[in-house]
Chains A and B, each alone.
Chain A
Amino acid sequence: MKRGSAPLLIFILVLFVFCLWVIWPGNGIFGRNEFTLGLDLKGGSHLVYQIDLSKKDPTQSDSDVIEAVKNKIERRVNAYGVTEPIVQTINNERGSFVLVQLPGVKDVDEAIKLVGQTAELDFREMELDASGNLVFDETGKPKYTAIAKANGSDGQEKELTGKYLKPNAQVVLAQQTNEPEVAFEWNSEGAILFEQITQRNLQKPLGIYLDGEPISWPTVQTVIKEKGVITGLNLEAARTLAIQLNSGSLDVPLTIVERRDIGATLGEDSLKKSLMAGIIGSAMVVLFMIAYYRFSGFVACLALVVFVVLNLAIFKLIPVVLTLPGIAGFIVSIGMGVDGNVLVAERLKEELRRGRTLGAAVEEGFRQSWSAILDANVTVVIACVVLLWLGNTFGNFLVIGFAITLLIGTLLSMFTQVVVTRTFLRTFVGLGIAKSPGAYGVAKQ
């Protein structure tokens, strides 16, 4: 055995066994026990909202508004019970956007409302006719006279809005009717305002409005200070409203500019198909390499197994978000990853034909192929880096998915092609396995 190759062989084997353990289902370190699947594989919804900064309060900075929007959306999404949501902001020359990924949501329409609605709650005093009845407009909505105002603790007149709510609104079922209601509680300032407003409107309807649309207009029965309920909603809408009230209303309006929904069954089906494609494709590569390059092909395949296991372990530990294009990128890197082995095996054949001994041919083959292997991967790395940038600028997780796995695969394959294949070949040559040139695909002279 060549000097220096024994420690390397042990290192590779230890690394391999460790990575094999890591990728085993349920195993992992740093709490990364499962592969991270992208939205296209789990199913769910990918939403991009534009943040309309022209409507912001001029005293606030853009970045503060964006940050506040992001935080409120995060609170809403978490309260909605989505597992592993993603909320991130994108700023570019076209404006500011917030990207929201909701894996596994079933009712996307409700989720879109939940996330993107401003959810500004206020109370309005209603227009009444001579006999004290509500006046309705032609669309069937009751008319109001003004947003309810009252004097706060500092003597200033203030509109009563959702910002005076304690963040503990919840959905309850009304005792008699079993109808869903949102129960809310005012903070001290809100209680001062609400007391005056209910006092003023006793036995009159008071409109409850969300983003300027009436939800309900109950008649005030008694003077209320701290607590209240909002009725007139179905269960789903009540749940959404409670979450929105607790997160606080958004300071600026959002409009949806991109939406991608993927059904969970489609994702599962695609994953199975892609894995099958990967297995069949890799099997063909293995058969081809062994048939054509014989023993060096066999060694290349061993190196390929190491490559696949190491690569999967990296995916799990970083973790890389696996998407369908990402799996395609990985599978393509398996195919392209044999390039270094092919270069070496070809050189090895040439050196053997020139009459070198096996050991010398192995060393010479690697020495001569190294620069080509390095060069070969540079262009792919350039393309991947550009793609990563491209994917990030418009939040396209499919493009990012492909670029990241192809990049990791390409970089890792350089390691396996050179270090792993060479160590294996040196070991086998040193042990005296496969001595005849025929084993390397060289025809007998």
Chain B
Amino acid sequence: MIDLVGKRNWFFLISAIVIIPGIISLAVFGLRPGVDFSSGTAMTLSFDKEVELSQLRQELTDLGYDQAIVQPSGEGDFFVRLPEMSSEQTTALKDGLQTGLDATLTISSLYTVSPIVAAGTVRNTVIAIVVAGVGILLYISWAFRKMPKPMRWGTCAIIALLHDLIVVIAVFSILGWAAGVEVDALFVTGVLAVVGVSVNNIVVVFDRIRENLKRGVSRDFEVIANYGIIESLGRSLNTGLATLFVIVALYLLGGVTTHTLVLALMIGIATGIYSSLCIAGQLLVVWEKGLSSGKKIATSTV
């Protein structure tokens, strides 16, 4: 039998390698807020002929929009982020660009949010995260009521859950400054969905460990935990893979609109599989035995 618990320090190290730079990135750069949260105007521009990124940047500067953020957005389109624009300003900008670049321009999508709406969105998002957090805590305390030490098991589950969330948020922080990826309301949607899936994975693994504890599979908690994790391996991997198949397909083939949502789900669900198999149960063992239990499980004992 594979020993997933014995290698726990390796797993913790792998997580640390992802999480520590992520936290540094979060502390230094934070997240790049989209129009939803920071107000302003975002638009996708399509031209009827090839336009260079530098040309467009220059033209925007000439029109007085030197603070515009411009990114290519596939198939010759551009994503432009501007301060909040009125309907008249948008029309003027469109006309200015058409004349300046001598090309026909279509604004294929436009999104404008005023500060009052953005502030409301931020506030509601915070409330939603708090409410979801309380809901999940209630669920965890209910799901773990039968566990031998509910507080300890609950805490380990929450640490594993936070692990998944930090990875998702950290990746978005890194992508924020590396690739200009913004977080919007759909990112929050993805993160909250990840919470739902992730908790569930952890509960399934812990449930198996508890069953084995009751059955008295071994005296060694390390063996019991490993046994539980291995028994859940098939389910966790297969359900996770099935979900990832559709999500990867959506990410690669689906539209741009849902990219942040799908990316958050993809990272979160992949991390969730890993943490439920390599982190959550192992944390229980660490709490029981400390970090440096050198004892290995002999394959023959189980």
Contacting pair B242 A288 (CB below 8 A): yes
Task: Verify if A137 is at the interface (C-beta below 8 Å from B).
Answer: no
Task: Verify if B145 is at the interface (C-beta below 8 Å from A).
Answer: no
Task: Verify if B13 is at the interface (C-beta below 8 Å from A).
Answer: no
Contacting pair A92 B200 (CB below 8 A): no
Pick the residue among A93, A108, A278, A377 that contacts B246 (CB under 8 A).
A278
Task: Verify if A2 is at the interface (C-beta below 8 Å from B).
Answer: no
Bound: A276/B186 CA distance, A: 21
Contacting pair B245 A387 (CB below 8 A): no
Contacting pair A328 B125 (CB below 8 A): no
Bound: A258/B44 CA distance, A: 16
Q: Find chain A residues with CB under 8 A from B121 CB.
A: 394, 396
Bound: A383/B262 CA distance, A: 16
Task: Verify if A399 is at the interface (C-beta below 8 Å from B).
Answer: yes
Contacting pair B117 A258 (CB below 8 A): yes
Q: Which residue of B lies closest to A326 (CB)?
A: B258
Q: How far is the CB of B48 from chain A (nearest CB, A)?
A: 13
Contacting pair A328 B116 (CB below 8 A): no
Q: How far is the CB of B58 from chain A (nearest CB, A)?
A: 25
Q: How many residues of A contact B (CB 8 A)?
A: 76
Q: Find chain B residues with CB under 8 A from A381 CB.
A: 196
Bound: A260/B44 CA distance, A: 11
Task: Verify if A274 is at the interface (C-beta below 8 Å from B).
Answer: yes
Contacting pair A389 B245 (CB below 8 A): no
Q: Find chain B residues with CB under 8 A from A277 CB.
A: 246, 249-250, 252-254
Bound: A420/B244 CA distance, A: 24
Question: Which among A6-14, A192-200, A236-244, A263-271 touches the partner chain?
Answer: A263-271
Q: How far is the CB of A328 from chain B (nearest CB, A)?
A: 5
Q: Which residue of A lies closest to B132 (CB)?
A: A386
Q: Which of B220-251 contact A (CB under 8 A)?
A: 234-235, 238-239, 241-250
Task: Verify if B97 is at the interface (C-beta below 8 Å from A).
Answer: no
Contacting pair A335 B257 (CB below 8 A): no
Q: Find chain B residues with CB under 8 A from A50 CB.
A: 114, 116
Contacting pair A384 B196 (CB below 8 A): yes
Task: Verify if A135 is at the interface (C-beta below 8 Å from B).
Answer: no
Q: How far is the CB of A350 from chain B (nearest CB, A)?
A: 8
Contacting pair B106 A382 (CB below 8 A): no
Contacting pair B109 A266 (CB below 8 A): yes
Q: Which of A274-295 contact B (CB under 8 A)?
A: 274, 276-278, 280-282, 284-285, 288-289, 292
Bound: A50/B119 CA distance, A: 14
Bound: A394/B126 CA distance, A: 13
Q: Given known contacts A281-B245, A325-B257, is B131 in contact with A386 (CB within 8 Å)?
A: yes
Bound: A324/B207 CA distance, A: 36
Q: Given known contacts A50-B116, A324-B258, A343-B235, is B246 in contact with A332 (CB within 8 Å)?
A: yes
Task: Verify if A338 is at the interface (C-beta below 8 Å from B).
Answer: yes
Contacting pair A260 B254 (CB below 8 A): no
Bound: A332/B235 CA distance, A: 17
Q: Given known contacts A380-B196, A382-B139, A383-B192, is B257 in contact with A40 (CB within 8 Å)?
A: yes
Q: How far is the CB of A103 from chain B (nearest CB, A)?
A: 15
**Chain A 367-383: CB-based contact to B (< 8 A → 1; otherwise 0):** 00000100111111111
Contacting pair A281 B249 (CB below 8 A): yes
Q: Find chain B residues with CB under 8 A from A378 CB.
A: 139, 200
Q: Given known contacts A378-B139, A379-B200, A402-B189, is B108 in contact with A257 (CB within 8 Å)?
A: no
Q: Which of A335-366 contact B (CB under 8 A)?
A: 335-336, 338-339, 342-343, 346
Contacting pair A387 B192 (CB below 8 A): yes
Pick the residue among A112, A276, A376, A396 that contacts B185 (CB under 8 A).
A396
Q: Which residue of A lies closest to B197 (CB)?
A: A380
Task: Verify if B107 is at the interface (C-beta below 8 Å from A).
Answer: yes
Q: Which residue of B lies closest to A277 (CB)?
A: B253
Q: Which residue of B lies closest to A271 (CB)?
A: B255
**Chain A 2-38: CB-based contact to B (< 8 A → 1; otherwise 0):** 0000000000000000000000000000000000000
Q: Given known contacts A375-B200, A379-B200, is B185 in contact with A399 (CB within 8 Å)?
A: yes
Pick the residue among A331, A387, A394 that contacts B117 (CB under 8 A).
A394
Bound: A48/B203 CA distance, A: 42
Most chain B CB within a 10 A radius of its CB, from A95, A282, A393: A393
Q: Find chain A residues with CB under 8 A from B120 CB.
A: 92-94, 393-394
Bound: A109/B88 CA distance, A: 8
Task: Verify if A273 is at the interface (C-beta below 8 Å from B).
Answer: yes
Task: Verify if A173 is at the interface (C-beta below 8 Å from B).
Answer: no
Contacting pair B246 A399 (CB below 8 A): no
Q: Find chain A residues with CB under 8 A from B143 CB.
A: 375
Task: Verify if B128 is at the interface (C-beta below 8 Å from A).
Answer: yes
Contacting pair A278 B249 (CB below 8 A): yes
Contacting pair A336 B128 (CB below 8 A): no
Task: Verify if A169 is at the interface (C-beta below 8 Å from B).
Answer: no
Most chain B CB within a 10 A radius of its CB, from A265, A343, A386: A386
Contacting pair B136 A342 (CB below 8 A): no
Contacting pair B245 A288 (CB below 8 A): yes
Bound: A334/B247 CA distance, A: 10
Pick the residue among B109, B234, B254 that contacts A346 (CB under 8 A).
B234
Q: How far is the CB of A279 from chain B (nearest CB, A)?
A: 8
Task: Verify if B277 is at the interface (C-beta below 8 Å from A).
Answer: no
Pick the residue among A108, A109, A257, A325 that contacts B189 (CB under 8 A).
A325
Q: Which of B47-74 contact A (CB under 8 A)?
A: none
Task: Verify if A227 is at the interface (C-beta below 8 Å from B).
Answer: no
Q: How far is the CB of B92 from chain A (nearest CB, A)?
A: 11
Task: Verify if A141 is at the interface (C-beta below 8 Å from B).
Answer: no
Most chain A CB within a 10 A radius of its CB, from B124, B242, B255: B242
Q: How far is the CB of B44 from chain A (nearest CB, A)?
A: 8
Contacting pair B197 A266 (CB below 8 A): no
Q: How far is the CB of A140 from chain B (nearest CB, A)?
A: 18
Bound: A402/B249 CA distance, A: 17
Q: Given known contacts A261-B109, A281-B250, A378-B139, is B239 in contact with A336 (CB within 8 Å)?
A: yes
Task: Verify if A233 is at the interface (C-beta below 8 Å from B).
Answer: no
Task: Verify if A431 is at the interface (C-beta below 8 Å from B).
Answer: no
Q: List 10 A-B contacts (CB under 8 A).
A: A256-B87, A260-B109, A289-B242, A324-B257, A325-B189, A372-B204, A379-B195, A386-B132, A399-B189, A402-B261
